Amino acid sequence: MKESFDAIVVGAGPAGCAAAYSLARAGLDVLLVERGKFAGVKNMTGGVLYGPVLNNLIPDFWKEAPVERHVTRHVITLLSEKTSLSIDFNSTGLDESLQDGYTVLRARFDRWFADKVEQAGGVVITGVRVDDLLWDGKRVVGIVAGGDKIPAGVVIAADGVNSALAKKAGLSARLSPENVNQGVKEIIRMPRELIEQRFNVSGDGGAAIHFLGFCTRGVHGGGFLYTNRESLSLGVVVQLKALIENNLKSVELLEGFKAHPTVKELIKDGSTVEYSAHLVPAGGLGMVPRLYTDGLLLTGDAAALVLATGRSLEGSNFALASGMAAAETVRRAREKGDYSQETLSHYAELLSESFVLQDLKRFQRSAELLENQRLYSVYPELACSLAEKVFRVDGDPKKTVWQLAREEMKGRVSIWTLLKDALAARRSV
Ligand SMILES: Cc1cc2nc3c(=O)[nH]c(=O)nc-3n(C[C@H](O)[C@H](O)[C@H](O)COP(=O)(O)OP(=O)(O)OC[C@H]3O[C@@H](n4cnc5c(N)ncnc54)[C@H](O)[C@@H]3O)c2cc1C
């Protein structure tokens, strides 16, 4: 192994692999260090990877990457205790290039991506944890791992949420129960034919279902179910503060979610083969720390670059795009032979020009909106009970949908509160 590198990337998730791959392809000497036995072994995501960003880096990546299914059905399902109401967007009829989401299993996907780094000429070491940064005064000049000091022009921290390296550099995102969500997930094995029949998909098509309401017992969070080739990814993501204040445990919420009549039918005859839990930053722009210092850049979850709007939880794309922007910054810095923070500030410029900081800025009020408890309790219950009345034919004279809606709203929410919430949502979703 070389004694010194142009760049060392710590963590082989999407941020780290994208950074290391870009640097290796640009001809820089890059080392990618991952603590897992292999890249992705313990990594977790809900499972939808939106394709365009990776497609820019590796055109038609989905033809060779171990993606599970192409998402052709996006479903939003509101849950009351016993019923559900769904909006189902089916894009099967669209051109394939417009269907941009893929379900992935990280243990396979990250491993493939780390292999790509090696094929591009990068050095990849797995099973080694980076313990510290190497300093020359106030400048980061490498890493300390397994007792070895490995020098480099620059270090890219892609070590995920609660980044140890960001902390050591005094740059870390301030994690608190309000701005962090906890996700728990099961992989449920199911025969391919059964998945296709049950979820109304065929070939490589797949479904991404997001749940709101009873899956989190009405507290801040939601549920998800994604179809893979021969398994389902099922989980709940809940704000840490909501878990603490309501004395709830994610594992119990997941069990309750699985027992809901709607979900029970969807996972029937499947068998759980894997369980995982992970934190995800959810505080939006307000929690993004300073992104660089002399000799160091922060990417992906390590920099809290995750968009949580209630419409989606999008982190992988932000990780990929920030990894690529970090690589471009390092490439330029190497040309100048200068890894000072002045030169590395180009990274923040690149992120400001891209969707990464623009989306986080545009949706910076989302965190506030998502604090509204009615989103998780009153509204899903109201929608389901209204649907129940609308679809019931009981021999009595019928009422209009408007009359039924007013009756269902009584005692639950006033029209003014509803309008106020709709206005807030208009700016934040
Ligand atoms: C339940 C849940 C559901 C989600 N659903 C989605 C979704 O559907 N779509 C989406 O886009 N995003 C989703 N996300 C967010 C997404 O998973 C993350 O934003 C994304 O994985 C961040 O990538 P990353 O490379 O920054 O970090 P990670 O993927 O966390 O990778 C960090 C890597 O660094 C390694 N590492 C850590 N410390 C060290 C160390 N000291 N030395 C060496 N290696 C180290 C880790 O082992 C890991 O491989 C979800 C997250 C959760 C928790």
Residue with CA at minimum distance from ligand 1 atom 52: 45
Complete DSSP assignment for 110-135: HHHHHHHHHHTT-EEEES--EEEEEE
Complete DSSP assignment for 356-406: HHHHHHHTTTHHHHTT-GGGTTHHHHHHHHHHHHHH---SSPP--HHHHHH
Tokens standing for residue 262: 């709607």
Q: Dihedrals φ, ψ of 378, to 5°?
A: -60, -50
Residue with CA at minimum distance from ligand 1 atom 26: 300
Separation of CA 247 from chain center: 25
Tell me the mean pLDDT in the region 125-131: 97
Report the CATH fold assignment for 5-66+106-173+288-353.
Answer: FAD/NAD(P)-binding domain (3.50.50)
Give me the residue spans of the domains in the chain. 5-66+106-173+288-353, 180-281, 368-428
Residue count (the chain): 429
**With respect to CATH, is domain 180-281 assigned 3.30.160?**
no
CA distance 228 to 186: 12
pLDDT in tens, 33-44: 999 999 988 887
Type of residue numbered 227: T
CA of 237 to the centre of ligand 1 (A): 14
Q: How confident is the model at residue 197 (pLDDT cuts 50, 70, 90)?
A: very high
Residue with CA at minimum distance from ligand 1 atom 12: 315
Q: Which helix (H) or strand (E) holds 70?
A: strand 67-79
CA of 422 to the centre of ligand 1 (A): 32
Number of the ligand 1 atom closest to the C-alpha atom of 302: 26
CA of 71 to the centre of ligand 1 (A): 21
pLDDT in tens, 281-335: 999 999 999 999 999 999 999 999 999 887 778 999 999 999 999 999 999 999 9
Q: Are strands 296-298 and 148-157 parallel, antiparallel or unpaired?
A: parallel
pTM for the model stands at 0.95
